[in-house]
Amino acid sequence: MFTTRPEIAATFGAVASTHWIASQVGMSVLERGGNAFDAAAAAGFTLQIVEPHLNGPGGDCPILLHSAATNTQQVICGQGPAPAGLTVAHLRGLGLDMVPGTGFLAAPIPGAFDAWARMLLEHGTWRLRDVLEYAIGYAARGAHMVPRVAQTLATVRPLFEQEWTSSAALWLRDGGPQPGRLWRNPVLAETYARLLREAEAPGRSREQEIEAARAAWYGGFVAEAIERFGRTPQMDTSGRRHAAVLTAQDMAGWRARVEAPVAREFMGHTVLKCGAWSQGPTLLMTLGLLEGFDLAAMDPLGAEFVHVVTEAMKLSYADREAWLGDPDFADVPLPTLLSEGYLAARRALIGEQASLAFRPGNPEGRAVRGVDYAAAVRRAQEMAAAAGTGEPTVSRLGAAGGDTCHVDVIDRWGNMVSATPSAGWLQSSPAIPELGFCLGTRCQMFWLDETLPNGLQPGKRPRTTLSPSLVLREGRAWMAFGTPGGEQQDQWQAIMLARMLAHGFNIQQAIDLPAFHSEHWVSSFWPRGAQPGKLVLEGRYAPAVMEALTARGHRAEMGGEWSEGRLTGARREPDGQIFAGANPRGMQGYAVGR
């Protein structure tokens, strides 16, 4: 089949990411002798500069990696938890019934920096200065701005000018970033330069420098600046101004953790995901449900494939909402949710017609509580009636969700990284003048009920939508892949992997093929809406497919011709060849290698 660009083949190494500059930065590191972990970190820091509307230094970053040296896989949890002062009582006392989608209150402890730093410390070979020099250079001298940066800023310009004046000073100076022009963030460049100055000292080893940088970020000038700036109340999606509760003490007591991935078999392969503090297990549930269908007999572009995959995702995402949350705080029945017996019972619910019901299961006989689907439907209707949209959706108060960044790297030794940095995007909260970046808003994904699996508690990780993936074939690391997309991340990944394994498509073919997504379940993003039965098909689907799905009861609509998916991926075959592909939609993603 025709593809928008080749699935590249390499033996030395490959990098695929959501921005061509980050991909080439990662490849530059490999060419200079670095390994996949060095390359992924350099690419990740660069993404903060070239995609500032999709991620930033104050955001989050879960990482899945494979170490060729130990033949093991691990998760580095770069999802920071709720600060000590962010309690249900505090928010209720402010008259809130939901965590705002922007501003200070929704900020968790920023986890991205420590995730990259820990990976570099334990698996990398480069000094921090060498890794950061790319991001510092682009921030200081200017990086090419894609059109979406300016479009996002145009939407939130009134908010910046009237309320978030520090963001206006940073992002609207000299007219703001222009499509195709260079844009500098000298304040952020100086933040990273100062971090290096504080980390480096005569006689310090590479490891000691990285540890000193972690200390400066979480226990030094960065944490102190965050706390100082957060004391002044700022506007958020509630329509009121609130001060931050995140403190330097919160940051000083936190570091990114290493965990074992969650795994499930699918069509002779082992799929690895982050734990129940993420929506990652949702993909495993979807794949487990699909295992019982003859996907290979279905037309990969036909109505039957779309119907079955969509109905499976409705069930798995319903269980996400009812049962997933930080397992340090919630009793998550994950082994049962992923068991064949439970999934077989759930699979029997998939019929010929689309379901418009919200149907979480009852693992181990547990009763579902705290899920008000009717209220979510009302919130979506109210939001649709109130204002316009975008991708990512941005309101006049800065509310945003739906896109992020992703990077996959495989080096010549067989090391692999799949990482999904996000949040801390420029429209999430006011820019911190001393640092040149803003905080994230991942705590908007909590419910204000401490007893729920994803209910707010201090120190608890919000159930993030960020969801990198690794796949093993015959016990050997085979593929790293992932995508931006919020709720869509584990939808588009399910579609891609099913098409590769059931129909034999390669990475680029699977990425290029028309895709789809559902908005049936409760969204993780403010205002936490739901749209029963909504199914969006990419515009290249045949009209007959749309008609067949509508006849089955799906509330289907056709999107743009190149509108579904932001996927990238890289795989390594037994002969040592490395293959990679990247999303053409939006004309940013790129895979490079040799």
CA distance 553 to 547: 10
Q: Which amino acid is at 68?
A: A
Q: Are 400 and 102 in contact (CB under 8 A)?
A: yes
Domain with CATH 1.10.246.130 in the chain: 259-385+466-593
How many CA atoms lie within 13 Å of 108's alpha carbon, on the beta-carbon side? 31
266: β partners:
269
What pLDDT score does 388 carry?
45
CA distance 356 to 156: 35
Name the band, by pLDDT with cuts 50, 70 and 90, for residue 384. Answer: confident
What the block records as the tokens of 491 is: 């939808």
CA distance 393 to 386: 13
- Please enumerate in sequence order all residues whose Cβ is within 8 A of that of 250, keeping only pairs 6 or more positions apart, or say none: 83, 84, 85, 109
What are the pLDDT digits (tens) for 335-344?
Answer: 999 999 999 9
* Rg of the chain on CA atoms, in Å: 22
Q: Which CATH class is domain 259-385+466-593?
A: mainly alpha
What are the pLDDT digits (tens) for 95-148?
Answer: 999 999 999 999 999 999 999 999 999 999 999 999 999 999 999 999 999 999
- Please enumerate in sequence order all residues whose Cβ is within 8 A of that of 314, keeping only pairs 6 or more positions apart, or say none: 355, 359, 518, 520, 521
pTM (predicted TM-score): 0.97
- Please enumerate in sequence order all residues whose Cβ is within 8 A of that of 547, keeping only pairs 6 or more positions apart, or say none: none
Residues 288, 62, 262, CA angle at the centre, nearest 5°?
A: 30
Say if residue 387's pLDDT is above 60.
no
Say if residue 323's pLDDT is above 60.
yes
What are the pLDDT digits (tens) for 529-573?
Answer: 999 999 999 999 999 999 999 999 999 999 999 999 999 999 999
Return phi, psi of residue 524, to 5°.
-80, -15
User: What is the percentage of the chain residues whose pLDDT exceeds 70?
Assistant: 97
Mean pLDDT of all residues in 328-349: 98
Can you tell me whether residue 377 is helix, strand or coil? helix
Name the band, by pLDDT with cuts 50, 70 and 90, for residue 399. Answer: low
